[in-house]
Amino acid sequence: MMLAHSGRGLLLSLKLTGGDRRAGLCILAGSPPSCVLRPVVTTGTALAAADVERLTEWRNRYRSAFLTEFTATNERTERWLRETVGPSDQRILFMLDDLEGRTFGYMGLAQINWDTHSGEADAVVRGLEAPPGTMRVALRTMLLWAESQLGLTTLRVRVRSDNPAVAFYRRVGFVESHQIPLRQQRQGTELHWIEDASADSGVVGLVYMNWQPNSEC
């Protein structure tokens, strides 16, 4: 049986040593494999400028898919990676590479709680064309890995109700548990979507979905 603390150790070591497809630890997705989940290493020179640029460009393209809407810059993305993602034992981010090494997307785990063995899929984005179903296979692989290798028994995703990705998550095996209304709050140039149970439930909500895969997913 997987111990919670060994899962945490694995997560932290992967974030330090993964990343290099030639020598690092990556996760193969699909059978036969169709893509590779490559951990983003944020320390020193290991952080690739090309990945920072991709993350920035694709985050801006899908601005309205997230709870904080802002214009990303490479500087801000790099700071987020080095200061928020890198040092945290509650997060990991993967770039998605095809078998030729072309990076076409990213996805991660966040809000990991080692005491309750829970976490959530976060920042799931396809930035370039990929064969249909590749994102589903990659996400399912990441979730299975989180279960079997990190020991996480409860995995969820939260997605805005106005995002067509709700149907994608259903297809991956997530089931809606509840929805909380969102209200907008402007902070300078940023738009924040805040959970507010008293807000008009007819507008945009945050859909909570739990991963309950069946054999078809």
Ligand X SMILES: CC(C)(COP(=O)(O)OP(=O)(O)OC[C@H]1O[C@@H](n2cnc3c(N)ncnc32)[C@H](O)[C@@H]1OP(=O)(O)O)[C@@H](O)C(=O)NCCC(=O)NCCS
**103-113, strands of its sheet edge to edge:** 27-29, 35-39, 92-98, 103-113, 118-126, 154-160, 205-211, 174-187, 190-195, 68-69
50 versus 167: smaller Cβ distance to ligand X: 167
Q: Is residue 133 involved in binding ligand X (CB under 6 A)? A: yes
Q: Is residue 156 involved in binding ligand X (CB under 6 A)? A: no
- How many whole angstroms separate alpha carbon 178 and alpha carbon 200? 15
Q: How far is the CB of 57 from ligand X (least distance, A)?
A: 13
Using CB under 6 A as the binding rule, the residues of this chain from 49 to 78 that contact ligand X are 62, 65
- Write the binding mask 1 to 40 for ligand X: x where contact by CB under 6 A, - elsewhere: ----------------------------------------
C-alpha closest to that of 93 among 33, 29, 27 = 27
Binds ligand X by CB under 6 A, chosen from 8, 171, 183, 192: 171
Q: Which residues contact 50 (CB under 8 A, 6 or more apart)?
A: 103
Q: Which residues contact 6 (CB under 8 A, 6 or more apart)?
A: 151
Binds ligand X by CB under 6 A, chosen from 40, 124, 142, 150: 124
Residues that bind ligand X (CB under 6 A): 62, 65, 124-126, 130, 132-136, 159, 163-165, 167-168, 171
